[in-house]
Copies of this chain bind each other. A is one copy, B any other.
C-alpha cells in the first residue's frame, strides 16, 4: 500500500492555540466517567441465552460445594435452595427471581461528591484494583514487597489522574500482612489520606468491617455518616472455583448485603485450570458462580447491589499459568461484559493484566487490547489495572501514568462520532474548497480543538527529530519524570489534623506523618 506521507500543516504556535478552550466548562470535557458504550457484541443473543441456560443447569443440578455454612443456609434454605451432600442447589426459578429483583444501578460515592460514579449497564468507568504484593522499582527493575506508604502514594497518584475514576486497593501493605486488622485499618487510612475519589478495599475477614465503618465515621465526623454515603466498597472473592464457597469472603459478602452495602466481588475461575478450557464452558461456570453470589445477596435483601464480578481468567495451557494479557482474555472479558449488559447487571471486569514484567511494548499492547475490548463491550466497572505488571504480581507507578493516557484515548473511542447537520460539515467543506484551501484555521477546527480531541499527558507526539535531539526517552522514562513531579508535590490534607489525631488514637495507624509532607525525600 502506497500513500502520501502525512504533511504537517503549518505550525501556528502551540501556546496560542492551547490558550483557547482552556476555559472549557467541565460539561464540555472530551471524555468523562460513565460514557455510553456497548457497540462491540462478540456473542449472539442466542449464544448468551445458551450460556445462561447452561449456567442455570449447573446451579440447579451441580450447585455450590462447601455450603455447610450457617449464615448461608439460614438465608438460602427458606427461599427454596436445597442442600445435598454439602452442595447448595439453586432452583432455576429462584435464580430468575433473584435476577429480576437485583438492583440494576448503583452509585459508587466519592469521598468528594464530584467524584460520585453512577453505575449502570453500558456505562464505562475505570478504577484501580489488585491486591498485588510487590512494587516494580523503576531504578532497579526489581519486584520488592509493597508497603503502606506505597499505598498512600498510589492513592495520591490516582487522585491526580483524570481517567482513573476510583481508587481500588491496588496492592497490600506487606509489613502488616500478618495482622489483617492492622492491615485493613491502615490501608483504609492510607486511601482516605491520599484521594477524594471513591475507594474500595479488599477485606480479608468480616470482623474488620465494623471497625472500618467506625474509622470512616470518625473521618466524616458523624456516627452513621459513612452509611449515608458509603464511599468505600468492601470486596473479595467468595468463590473457590470450580463451584465452592470460600468462607472468609463469603462472610464479607453476606455482611455487605445485611448492611445494605454493595457486594464488590470478583470470581476469577481460570479456564483450563479451575474452569473448562473451552471458552464457552468457562463463561458458563463463572456465570453460574457469580449468579450464586447474586442470588445470596438478594435472598438476604431483595434489590441488593452487586458488582457482578464475573472474571473468567485464561491459562497458558503449556504451563497452566495464568495469562492476563492474552487475546483469549480480551475476548472472554468482552463476552462477560456483553452478558452482563444483556441481563442488566453491573458488569465489573478486569483488563490490562499484562504478562509483561516491565513497562514495554508488550505491556502497552496487552493493556490496550484487553481494555479496549472491555470498554467497547460496555463494561460498567473496569479494573484496567493501571500500572500493574507481571500477571498481577506488581505495581508500577510509572505505568499508572502511562495508562492514564491510554484510558483517555480509549474513552475517546468509546465516545464515538456525533453525526448531525453541523458535524457533517458540508458547508465547511464547501467554503474551504472554494476558500482557504485548508481547514486548520477554520472556526470549526478551533471550536472542536478542546471538545472533540483529547491530548495525552506523557505519550510523546514530538517529531522524531525533536526526540533524537532530546534524550530519546521511552514513555516509561517520561512517566518517571511525571511521577516524581506528581508525588513530590501533591500532599493534600484530606484528613483534618484534629480528625487525624482522633484516628491515630482509635486505630493502630502506622503511616508516618513525616511521610505525608512535601520535602520528605522520598520523591
**Bound-state Cα–Cα, A264 to B143, Å:** 50
Given contacts A270-B6, A364-B364, contact A358 B472 (CB under 8 A): yes
Contact of A1 among B243, B319, B383, B406 (CB under 8 A): B383
Is A278 located at the chain interface by the 8 A CB criterion?
A: yes
Are A460 and B355 neighbours in the complex by a CB distance under 8 Å?
yes
Chain B residue, CB-CB nearest to A315: B9
Is A425 located at the chain interface by the 8 A CB criterion?
A: yes
**Bound-state Cα–Cα, A14 to B369, Å:** 26
User: What are 9 of the A-B contact pairs (CB < 8 Å)?
Assistant: A1-B233, A12-B319, A243-B433, A279-B452, A283-B417, A284-B429, A332-B417, A360-B475, A361-B367
Whole-angstrom distance from the CB of A187 to the nearest CB of chain B? Answer: 11
Is A230 located at the chain interface by the 8 A CB criterion?
A: no
Q: Which residues of B contact A383 (CB under 8 A)?
A: 1
CB contact list, A359-373 vs B, under 8 A = 359-369, 372-373
Whole-angstrom distance from the CB of A399 to the nearest CB of chain B? Answer: 7
Q: Which residues of B contact A459 (CB under 8 A)?
A: 325, 355-356, 362, 365-366
**Bound-state Cα–Cα, A372 to B272, Å:** 25
Q: Which residues of B contact A57 (CB under 8 A)?
A: 426
| 9 cross-chain pairs, A with B, having the tightest CB-CB distances, nearest first | A281-B425, A2-B202, A364-B364, A327-B412, A9-B320, A364-B365, A327-B409, A6-B322, A3-B266
CB contact list, A377-409 vs B, under 8 A = 383, 389-394, 399, 402-403, 405-406, 408-409
Are B455 and A409 neighbours in the complex by a CB distance under 8 Å?
no
Residue from the set A280, A361, A460 with the largest chain B CB neighbour count within 10 Å = A361
Are A274 and B413 neighbours in the complex by a CB distance under 8 Å?
no
Is A54 located at the chain interface by the 8 A CB criterion?
A: yes
Are A54 and B426 neighbours in the complex by a CB distance under 8 Å?
yes
Q: Interface size on A (CB < 8 Å)?
A: 178
Are B424 and A50 neighbours in the complex by a CB distance under 8 Å?
yes
Is A496 located at the chain interface by the 8 A CB criterion?
A: no
Is A23 located at the chain interface by the 8 A CB criterion?
A: no
Chain B residue, CB-CB nearest to A326: B409
Are A272 and B362 neighbours in the complex by a CB distance under 8 Å?
no
Are B364 and A276 neighbours in the complex by a CB distance under 8 Å?
no
Chain B residue, CB-CB nearest to A419: B47
Q: Which residues of B contact A356 (CB under 8 A)?
A: 459-460, 475
Using an 8 Å CB-CB cutoff, how does the interface string of A120-156 with B read, 1 for contact, 0 for none?
Answer: 0000000101111110000001110000000000000
Is A32 located at the chain interface by the 8 A CB criterion?
A: no
Are A472 and B277 neighbours in the complex by a CB distance under 8 Å?
no
Is A254 located at the chain interface by the 8 A CB criterion?
A: no
